[in-house]
Structure formats: C-alpha cells, structure tokens
C-alpha cells in the first residue's frame, strides 16, 4: 500500500516523501535521516554543510540571470511525532511508516504519518533536484529534533545561514500565509518517594480511558477535545474520596505537544467497595460520553480486574498529585484580540506517569505574549509546588512577532490571488514554529510560513490532502520564480 503515493502528483515531491517514510525519524533519532538528506545533496553535486547540532544546509546556486535575487532559505524539520494506537505493533525506532491513499488524502496505518513536516522536507528536496526551475540562490535548511524543544533551531549558530528571506514550510492549511506564532515553555513536576504497602485485603482494578482523538496541542487545542489525564484524575478524585481507593500506578499521555488520548491507572480498594466502584466507572463513562458526544466519538472508560500490586503510592503523594492534576489549568486560557479566533495562551497537561518511587507530570504552556507565557508557567508551577512536587520551568522558546511591512508577504498575497483567484488568509498560529528562533540567529530575515492542509497532526489520525499538496508545491515554485 505504501508505494501508492508514488502515483500521485507532483511525482517528484511524493517520491521524496516516500523515501522519508522508509526511514525511522522520531524526535531524538536523527542520524539515519540526516545521512539520507546529506547523501541526497551530495549526489546532486551541491554544497552540503552540517552544524554541530545536526542541522543540514544544502546550497543550490542561482540559475542564470537570477544571481542578484535575494537569497531564499527554505526550511523544514526532519523529525516526526511517534504516536500509534495501543493495539498496533509498530516500532518507530526501526519500522517504516505504512502509508494509505484514501480518496483525496494520504494517511498512515494506525500511526502518525509524518506529513508534519515530511511534506515540507520532501518539497525542498524536489526543488533542489529540479533543473528547470528559475530561482535565486537557495539555502535549504533541514532542522533536527523540532518536536521536543526545537533543539535544532535553538542550536543554530549566528552566521550559519546567509539568506535574506525565510520560507518556512511547516504550517498546515492551504491558502494560509502565516506571519507569527506562539512561543512555549515546558513545566515539569516530579515527586520522589518511598512506596507504601498495599492495604491488607485490597483487590485491584486496571482502569482504562481510551479512544480519544488527541491531536496537536497548539493548532487543535481550541477544538474542545478531551484530555485523557484530566478525565482520569477527575474520576480518581471521586473514587479516592468515597471508596478508599488507593492509586498504585498511572500512565497517561506521552508527548508534550500532543493532547493525551489514553490514560491507564491501577488502583486498589477494599473488597466490600467493589460493586460501588464498578458502578462509579460506568457512571463516569456515561458522563464523559454525554459531555463529549459531539467531539469524542470512540471514548471508552472501563475497569478490569488486575493482579493486586505489592505497593501503592503513599497517601499524601497520591492526594497531592490528584489535587494538582485536577486543579491545573488545561486548554485555552486566552484569545488574541487583534486576530479574531486565534488562541493567545494555552496549556496542555501532556503526560502523567509513575514508576516505583517516582511520578512525573509534564505540561507545555504556549502564548504569543512572552509575559502571559511566563504567567501561565508560574501558575502551573505554583499548583504543583503546593502539592509537594519539585517543579522545573525549562526549554522555553520565543514566539515569532508579525511583521506587517513584510515585502515577501505582500508579494505572496498578490501571487496567490493571481494564481487561484482568491485571497490568501494571513494568520498568526498558536502552534510553535522555528521562525522566531531562526530569526534570532539570523537577524533581518523576512519570513513567511505556508504549507498544505494537514489535519490531526501528532495523532494516528493525521492525514494530508493530496490536492492541497499539489497546490502548495505549485505555489512554492511560483514564489521562488517571483522573488527577484
């Protein structure tokens, strides 16, 4: 099924995207894919450079007559978010992505597709390979490890790039020209403790919440999708308060920038409370299905008998954890006033995981306002510190402030109208893009970000629209020809 995409247009883009799907490239595993891209650049006889962080720049000289055009930096990141459904056997460290063509979309078989940002990277490779295209000098920048902390962009050294214009290919709606984005910061809370013995006579149940849609914690945070960690802990607070339930372990969510889709908790309780406990599980399943009936269509909340664990989390740690997770802000916090419908500030309670003697909760706070980003991070820190956790605020990255005087934006807006007889939408996105960080290392860049329509990024439901990809690539080529 994977090779079906080789029959799609534009053939050169899909050829390179197919090549990327065959190389495992989850964040943190960049060696094989960077070698693949560097070998590709060298095979074309182009200058290839790699910095100490692992970022790659492939330089393509200007075509005849375009030597005096501004130097254009094309930029995409090479890593992808590794998410799959629990019932799927897929090892992102070694298995290729199996793609499926379904009408006007390309998706993966029960895993993330990696169109974010593999389509952008594939488009850059196609441009580098195209000998018929007329353009000025191009620097194709392939960054690494964007999805966790924007490591590649943060590692760029001043002077590594020489360009005048940056075209970032990492936004996800055809017809949108992005001129700004939110910054972000991680808030990580940890508890260390000595496990307590399970109360004598207790029985155990494994409680599972699954079937949620999840998605991108920036671009999809406003869609009202359920957060598996919040729902699980609302239930746990009720169960602990009324049925002498003790929490033995919890595993909810995974990646900082993905809305958590699943959560599992192992709990113990007195035998005499078993019936009431199981009725409570059913009650909460019905509550959640009713609350999210227009958003979460496959929600499942169940309990199954489990082997009684030898230890549980100490009661004071358990109670602090539950209160902190229930109390922490999650989702949209504020909206922009000058860009209607765009989120300004949000948080994502991304993961809550326990192991013997340790619990870690990870959150990502985003805002296009640096002061509000700091405020929400401080608020989260306070909630978890009051619950006895050690809290670290780290891996912050700046937002990208809009430039209303952008000559590139004006040109691209006119070009889009000329090509497609409709206006492009100028937007600021709530997702984190590398543009602001790259601007800090290469001051003076004129920046616009655009891309094809990609939905449900960071989840196994991710897909990219085929027709939108064809338009995106055509628009990219016409833009490069227009920059003189």
Q: Which region holds residue 458: left if phi is over 0, alpha if psi is between -120 and 50, else beta?
A: left
Task: Give one DSSP letter per residue of 229-241, joined into a string.
Answer: HHHHHHHHHHHHH
Structure tokens at 142: 């392939």
Structure tokens at 357: 């003697």
CB-based burial label for 304 (10 Å; 0-12, 13-18, 19+): exposed
Of 79, 147, 296, 461, which one is the catalytic site residue? Answer: 79
Query: Do strands 454-455 and 56-60 pair parallel, antiparallel, or not at all (unpaired)?
Result: unpaired
Return contacts of 61-66, CB within 8 angstroms, 24+ apart: 61/137, 62/135, 62/136, 62/137, 63/133, 63/134, 63/135, 65/134, 66/134, 66/135, 66/136, 66/484
Closest of 121, 113, 48 to residue 78, by C-alpha: 121
146, 153 Cβ separation under 8 angstroms: yes
According to DSSP, residue 335 is labeled E
Query: Do strands 425-429 and 390-397 pair parallel, antiparallel, or not at all (unpaired)?
Result: unpaired
Strand order of the β-sheet with 176-181 is: 47-50, 56-60, 138-143, 72-77, 165-168, 446-449, 176-181, 425-429
Of 139, 145, 146, 434, which one is the catalytic site residue? Answer: 146
Question: Residue 47 catalytic?
Answer: no
Structure tokens at 335: 């909206």
Alpha-carbon span 265 to 83, nearest angstrom: 20
Question: Residue 102 catalytic?
Answer: no
What's the alpha-carbon Rg for the chain, to the nearest Å? 24
Which residues belong to the active site? Answer: 79, 146
């Amino acid at each position: 099924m994977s090779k079906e995409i080789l029959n799609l247009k534009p053939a050169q883009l899909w050829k390179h995207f197919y090549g990327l799907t065959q190389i495992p490239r989850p964040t943190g595993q960049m060696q094989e894919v960077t070698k693949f891209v560097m070998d590709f650049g060298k095979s074309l006889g182009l200058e290839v450079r790699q910095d100490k962080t692992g970022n790659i720049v492939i330089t393509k000289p200007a075509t005849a007559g375009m030597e005096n055009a501004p130097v254009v930096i094309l930029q995409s990141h090479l890593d992808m978010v590794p998410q799959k459904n629990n019932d799927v056997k897929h090892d992102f460290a070694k298995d290729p992505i199996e793609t499926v063509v379904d009408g006007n979309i390309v998706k993966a078989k029960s895993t993330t597709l990696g169109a974010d940002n593999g389509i952008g990277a594939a488009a850059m490779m196609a441009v580098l390979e195209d000998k018929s295209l007329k353009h000025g000098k191009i620097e194709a920048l392939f960054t690494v490890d964007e999805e966790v902390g924007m490591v590649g962009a943060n590692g760029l050294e001043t002077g590594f790039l020489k360009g005048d214009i940056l075209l970032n290919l990492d936004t996800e709606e055809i017809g949108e020209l992005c001129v700004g984005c939110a910054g972000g910061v991680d808030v990580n809370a940890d508890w260390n403790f000595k496990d307590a013995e399970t109360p004598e006579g207790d029985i155990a149940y494994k409680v599972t919440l699954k079937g949620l849609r999840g998605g991108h914690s920036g671009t999809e945070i406003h869609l009202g999708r359920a957060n598996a960690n919040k729902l699980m802990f609302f239930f746990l607070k009720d169960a602990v308060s009324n049925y002498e339930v003790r929490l033995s372990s919890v595993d909810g969510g995974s990646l900082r920038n993905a809305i958590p889709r699943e959560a599992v908790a192992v709990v113990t309780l007195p035998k005499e409370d078993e019936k009431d406990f199981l009725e409570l599980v059913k009650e909460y399943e019905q509550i959640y299905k009713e609350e999210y009936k227009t958003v979460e269509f496959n929600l499942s909340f169940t309990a199954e008998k489990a082997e009684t664990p030898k230890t549980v989390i100490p009661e004071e740690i358990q109670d602090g954890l539950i209160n902190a997770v229930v109390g922490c802000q999650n989702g949209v916090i504020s909206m922009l006033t000058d860009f209607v419908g765009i989120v300004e500030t949000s948080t994502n309670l991304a993961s809550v995981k326990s192991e013997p003697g340790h619990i870690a909760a990870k959150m990502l706070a985003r805002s296009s306002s640096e002061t509000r980003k700091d405020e929400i991070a401080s608020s989260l820190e306070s909630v978890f510190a009051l619950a006895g956790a050690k809290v670290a605020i780290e891996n912050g990255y700046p937002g990208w402030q809009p430039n209303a005087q952008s000559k590139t934006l004006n040109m691209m807006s006119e070009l889009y109208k000329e090509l497609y007889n409709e206006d492009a939408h100028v937007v600021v996105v709530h997702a984190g893009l590398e543009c602001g960080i790259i601007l800090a290392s290469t001051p003076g860049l004129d920046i616009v970000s655009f891309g094809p329509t990609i939905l449900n990024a960071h989840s196994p439901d991710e897909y990219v629209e085929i027709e939108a990809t064809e338009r995106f690539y055509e628009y990219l080529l016409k833009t490069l020809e227009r920059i003189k």
